[in-house]
Amino acid sequence: MVTAAVLLLVLGALPEPAAARRSGAWSQGPWNGLFQDSRPKRRRAATSAAVPLPKPRPAEAPAIPEGAKPAEAAKPNEAAKPAAEQAPPPPSACRLALTEAIAIAPSIPAISGPGGCGGGDLVRLEAVVLPDNKHVAVKPAAILRCAMAAALADWVRTDMAPFAQSLGTSLSDLDNFDSFECRGRNRVAGAKMSEHGRANALDVRALKFANGQSLSLTDRTIAREQREAVLHSVCARFTTVLGPGSDWYHEDHIHLDLAERRGGYRICQWNVYDPMPAVAPLLPAGRPEDAPPREVAAKPDAVKPGAAKHDAAEPDAEAEPVPQPKPRPTKKRRRAGAF
C-alpha cells in the first residue's frame, strides 16, 4: 500500500503530456483541477463606447459660400505669442487726424514704466508743418501723447507762426527743454507722478526764428509785450502753465501740459517781469545847483570854562549801546527743475 501511494504521488508530479493537453483527455481525468494550466488567460479588449455624432446643421443657418473653408481653432502657439508679436491696436482718432500735413510725428510703441508712468498712443514729435509747408523743428524731438502733440502743433501753426510774421520773420525751431521722463513732480522723491511721466507735458525755453534771433520766454531783456503775447496764447490753450514766479522750479523755462482736473480747473502762473535797468545806480544823484538852500542847525556854543571835557578816545560810560539790527535770515533757493 505504501508503495502504491508513493507511485501515485510521483505520477502526479509529472508534467502534462503535450498530446493529452491538446486533446483535452488529461484534463477530463480525476485530477482535473489539480493539473490545469496556471498561466494567466488573456482578457478580451473592452468594447469602445459609441461616439456621439454632431447635430445636423439647422435649416435656418446661413449658407456656407462655395470654396470657403471651415474656421479653424486658434493654434496654441499663436495664443501664447508675446504682446510685441501680436497685431498692434487700430490707430486712434487723434492719430488719424495728426497727418504729415500737420506734423512729422511717427507713432511709437506704448510705454509701461514703474509707478504707472508712460502710456499708449504715443508719438515722437519731430517737427510741425506750417500751412505754407515750412517745418518748425522740435529740438530735440519730444516723446508725447498724441493729444498733447496735436495741441502743440495747433498752437505753433495758429498762434506762433503769425506772431513770428508780425516780427518780420518766420518761426524755425522750438527749444524743447524736457518732454517724457518717468519721474515725480519737480524730481522730488515720493512726489505725485508728474505729467512728464505720463508723456503729457512739454517744457519750452525759447522760440527761434529764421533770421537767427530767438525769443527766450524767461529773459527779462526781451520786450515785455512779446512775452505777454506768448503768455496769453498758452494760457488759453493748455490746462497748466508754469513759469517764473510759480514755485521756483520754473524760473528758466515754461511748463505746458494738458492735465485733466475736476470741474475743468486750469492753472496759469507765469509772472512776466519788467526788464532790469540798464545801469543800476550805485550812489545817490548829486544835489542840483538850483535846489533851495537847506536849513542848517545852529552850531553849539564853545565849551565854557570849567566844563568837563570828554576824552574822545574813551566812550561815555553812561551811554546806552545802540541796538544792532539782526541779520536777515537767508532762504535756500530750491533747485530748478520741471513740474
The pLDDT score that the predictor gives to residue 15 is 54
The pLDDT score that the predictor gives to residue 330 is 60
Contact present, 217 and 208 (Cβ < 8 Å): no
DSSP state of 314: S
Which residue ranges make up each domain of the chain?
A: 89-269
Pick from 13, 18, 12: nearest CA to 30 = 12
Using one digit for the tens of pLDDT, what is the confidence trace for 216-242?
999 999 999 999 999 999 999 999 999
Averaged over 77-102, what is the pLDDT?
77
- Between CA 228 and CA 295 the distance in angstroms is 49
Length of the chain as a residue count? 339
**Global pTM?**
0.59
- Between CA 239 and CA 266 the distance in angstroms is 5
Using one digit for the tens of pLDDT, what is the confidence trace for 43-67?
555 555 677 787 888 877 777 666 6
Using one digit for the tens of pLDDT, what is the confidence trace for 137-162?
999 999 999 999 999 999 999 999 99
The pLDDT score that the predictor gives to residue 51 is 75
At 87, the pLDDT band (50, 70, 90 cuts) reads confident
The pLDDT score that the predictor gives to residue 113 is 86
The pLDDT score that the predictor gives to residue 8 is 54
Averaged over 68-89, what is the pLDDT?
56
The pLDDT score that the predictor gives to residue 60 is 77
Averaged over 98-108, what is the pLDDT?
96
Averaged over 161-178, what is the pLDDT?
96
Cell of 304: 565854557
Which carries the bigger pLDDT value, residue 335 or residue 275? 275
Strands (DSSP E) along the chain, which ranges?
A: 103-104, 107-108, 111-112, 118-119, 122-129, 135-145, 171-178, 201-209, 214-216, 240-242, 254-257, 267-269
The pLDDT score that the predictor gives to residue 323 is 66
The pLDDT score that the predictor gives to residue 225 is 94
Using one digit for the tens of pLDDT, what is the confidence trace for 238-256?
999 999 999 888 999 999 9
* pLDDT over threshold 50, residue 31: no
Using one digit for the tens of pLDDT, what is the confidence trace for 108-119?
999 998 888 999
Which carries the bigger pLDDT value, residue 33 or residue 292? 292
- Between CA 84 and CA 113 the distance in angstroms is 16
- Specify the range with the lowest mean pLDDT, choosing from 80-89, 165-174, 265-274: 80-89
Averaged over 167-175, what is the pLDDT?
96
The pLDDT score that the predictor gives to residue 74 is 45
Contact present, 207 and 160 (Cβ < 8 Å): yes
The pLDDT score that the predictor gives to residue 66 is 65
- Phi, psi for 8 (deg, rounded to 5): -65, -40
Cell of 193: 507722478
- Between CA 243 and CA 205 the distance in angstroms is 10
* β-bridge pairing 135-145 and 171-178: parallel
- The CA dihedral of 255, 260, 261, 263, to the nearest 10 degrees, is 120
The pLDDT score that the predictor gives to residue 150 is 97
Using one digit for the tens of pLDDT, what is the confidence trace for 301-328?
655 555 554 444 455 545 566 666 666 6
3-state secondary structure of 83: helix
The pLDDT score that the predictor gives to residue 34 is 46
- Between CA 253 and CA 180 the distance in angstroms is 16
